[in-house]
Structure 1
Amino acid sequence: MKHLHAILTAAMLGVVLCSYAQEQKLFRLVNGNGMEAVISNYGARLVSLTAHNWNGRLEPVIKGYVNKEEYLKDRSLGATLIYFGKNNEETLSGKTWELVSSDNQSVSLRYVTAEGENGLDGKLNVTVTYTLSDQNALDVDYRIATTAETRLEVTNGICFNLSGEMHRSILKQHLWIDAFQTNTYNQQRRLTGVLQRIRNTPLDFTKPREIGERIKRTHNGYDNAYQLRHPDNMQKPAAILFDAQSGRAMTVYSSEPTLSINTYGKESCGISLQPLHAGYNSGMEKIGNELHPGQVFHGATVFFFTTDPPLIMRAK
């Protein structure tokens, strides 16, 4: 009888694990130029993205894992990151999201939180849409509604390396950021709203510079939140990353007023460019991150790839 119970338990566990595995799906997006993005419904994450180099070869431009089990150890990589509720925790990168719609170039995923998750009195309804356009741009669109007031922080965990080789250093890649100031963090890694000018400091990328040019003068690489100069204008680039060896340039456009830059140390082979709903608008009014019932939060980020770098990146 004990053996029968063990067999039944193992069988039931196998069914559960198979069901869990089947719930996790990959969605392959391909544009008219052959550029490819792969999205997982586990954490609504970008797991793969390719872009052309100067001679037309498609190569990977983001860091990712081959085995999906690795994402259990590093849940933030490539994922949709949403901090919410009274506990202000990020939990959705470890969830399997529901498919809303998909086609060859776009996929929409949705997650509705449980009542009381993260201490939230109600529920959060989150939709993320990835679109790979024929203009070689990856658009990431967020729409969030709530049934109870909550503070909200939304961004992505995508880590870029434009060289095409994810183990190659990014220190020779050039970075430009449309910002004269940073928004400082407190000891709890919360933005304080206190702006600091960055002219003539290692944080100054108002002119394109190699990432490694002054990185050794930082505490532990770049991990800073930049207040953008054009926070209300998605027509203005927030940042540009350029790799001269591959010829790839990536321009970032964002609906958000702050851009967080993280190189994950001084000897880096990846960089994150994460828009944040924080800081100040063009009228220097402080942005609130409270979401109320009846409101819909809408955020958008565009990563535009080209092998014809913008003029500013060609300046000596």
Structure 2
Amino acid sequence: MKLVQERRTEINGHPIIAFTLANDHGMEITCLNYGCMITSILVPDKNGNYENVVLAFDEFSSYLTNRPYLGTVIGRVAGRIKNSCFELNRKKYKLYENENKNHLHGGKKGFHHVIWQAAGFSKKEEVGVRFLHRSVDGEEGYPGNVDVQVTYTLNNQNELIISYHAISDQDTPLTLTNHTYFNLSGNAQRDILQHELKIKSDRFLPLDHEFIPTGEIKDVAGTPFDLRQGKTLKEVINSTDPQICFVGHGYDHPFVLNAHYEEEIVLFDPKSGRTLVVETDEPGVVVYTGNHLPNGEKMNGVLSRKYLGICLETQALPDAVHHPHFPSCILRAGEVYSSTTKYAFRVSYE
């Protein structure tokens, strides 16, 4: 196991540090203390070629805006909150509006533009980084001081484990996720349309025209959202289903998971042979097929475009603050928020 730290640049006098984690089999992960951004995951294909399977900007300056939220930790609340407001304990709170009248991915700065405190660690069978941040009372409009810890751990089973912990001194909404875009072709040499996606989910959440859940929880049977036996992403984007079309011809939807830590999310690229298995204790996953990735930005040595990557955002269901029948996303004062998602990388040689 190996851990390397490298100073990349600085922001307002604060150093931006890259941490590269390597296991004994050649898998490497690079992440930054800025936004906890994952910029590289090197894993082998069926021919033994190690290539980057996540999207990353070629120039660090692009991360200062980072419209697609590449590789970041999202908080305090992942996803959209309708009308940028909620009521809690008979008090109304107004959040920062950063997508029309709605609040998206924690607001203007959120957790994705934070320079986190970070420290690497190395053990016999694992290596990793712990990130710390205090989100102060009133930040982006949220109540309470929240102490957040995010840990990235790489082990010798070619697994990345992301653990989230938080505690608040007031009741507050909180659900964290990672917004990495995966492309198993390696170095973004192809788009994701030939990738196959399988999810153990019987239900999904339809969206309104602002991409916010309507409150309905719908059966996937007979819809393009039935991924229980798997589908190619090309099959999905070619669907004429209105839910697929109005979000940009693809997914930008929450799925309710049937299982946890049972290979509930599987992404496979037949040409490279790479497989990503995602397991989590979260109630859902938001699948986003990069329908609105910007054109012409330099990523992985190529120009960005639609469908260059897919996000698998394990989290509580979006806009849960407005839907009491969704699992609650409220962290009560003094209680501990704890969540873990595992990303296992495998290779098929068929």
TM superposition score category, shorter chain reference? 0.7 to 0.9
Identity %: 28
Q: Is the 8 A contact 2:33 2:131 kept in 1?
A: yes
Partner of 1:270: 309
Partner of 2:285: 259
Q: Is the 8 A contact 1:163 1:245 kept in 2?
A: yes
Does residue 223 of structure 1 match 2:252?
Answer: yes
Partner of 1:97: 116
Which stretch shows the higher mean deviation, 260-269 or 199-208?
Answer: 260-269
Partner of 1:298: 338
State the alpha-carbon separation in 2 of the partners of residues 248 and 271 from structure 1.
Answer: 14
Q: C-alpha root-mean-square deviation of aligned residues, in Å?
A: 2.3
Give the drift of 1:237: 1.6
Partner of 2:39: 47
Give the drift of 1:216: 1.8
Partner of 2:271: 245
Larger C-alpha radius of gyration, 1 or 2? 1
SS in 2 for 1:145: strand
Q: 1:159 aligns with which of 160, 176, 181?
A: 181
**Displacement over 6 Å in runs of 4+:** none
Q: 1:176 aligns with which of 198, 212, 216?
A: 198
SS in 1 for 2:206: strand
Q: Is the 8 A contact 2:170 2:334 kept in 1?
A: no
Give the drift of 1:255: 0.8
Aligned AA (1:224): H
Aligned AA (1:41): N
What CA deviation, in whole Å up to 9, does each residue of 1:260-285 have, x standing for no partner?
Answer: 111122951210111112389xxxx7
Structure 1 gaps of 5+ residues are 1-16
Which stretch shows the higher mean deviation, 210-219 or 79-88?
Answer: 79-88
SS in 2 for 1:118: helix
SS in 2 for 1:25: strand
Partner of 1:31: 23
Change (3 A) 1:86 1:295: farther
Q: Is the 8 A contact 1:138 1:303 kept in 2?
A: yes
State the alpha-carbon separation in 1 of the partners of residues 10 and 70 from structure 2.
Answer: 24
What CA deviation, in whole Å up to 9, does each residue of 1:12-57 have, x standing for no partner?
Answer: xxxxx96735521111100110100001000111111111100222
Which stretch shows the higher mean deviation, 20-29 or 34-43?
Answer: 20-29
Partner of 1:71: 63
Does residue 201 of structure 1 match 2:240?
Answer: no
Aligned AA (1:24): I
Structure 2 gaps of 5+ residues are 1-8, 78-92, 96-102, 293-305
Does residue 211 of structure 1 match 2:270?
Answer: no
What CA deviation, in whole Å up to 9, does each residue of 1:222-279 have, x standing for no partner?
Answer: 111111112xx32x12210111111101101011111111112295121011111238
Q: Is the 8 A contact 1:256 1:278 kept in 2?
A: no
Structure 1 length as normaliser, TM-score?
Answer: 0.84
Larger helix percent: 1
Change (3 A) 1:92 1:18: closer
Does residue 119 of structure 1 match 2:119?
Answer: no
Give the drift of 1:308: 3.2
Partner of 2:168: 146
Partner of 2:100: none
State the alpha-carbon separation in 1 of the partners of residues 132 and 150 from structure 2.
Answer: 6
State the alpha-carbon separation in 1 of the partners of residues 186 and 128 from structure 2.
Answer: 24
Change (3 A) 1:46 1:21: farther
State the alpha-carbon separation in 2 of the partners of residues 256 and 183 from structure 1.
Answer: 15
Which stretch shows the higher mean deviation, 55-64 or 96-105?
Answer: 96-105
State the alpha-carbon separation in 2 of the partners of residues 250 and 216 from structure 1.
Answer: 23
Q: Is the 8 A contact 1:222 1:261 kept in 2?
A: yes
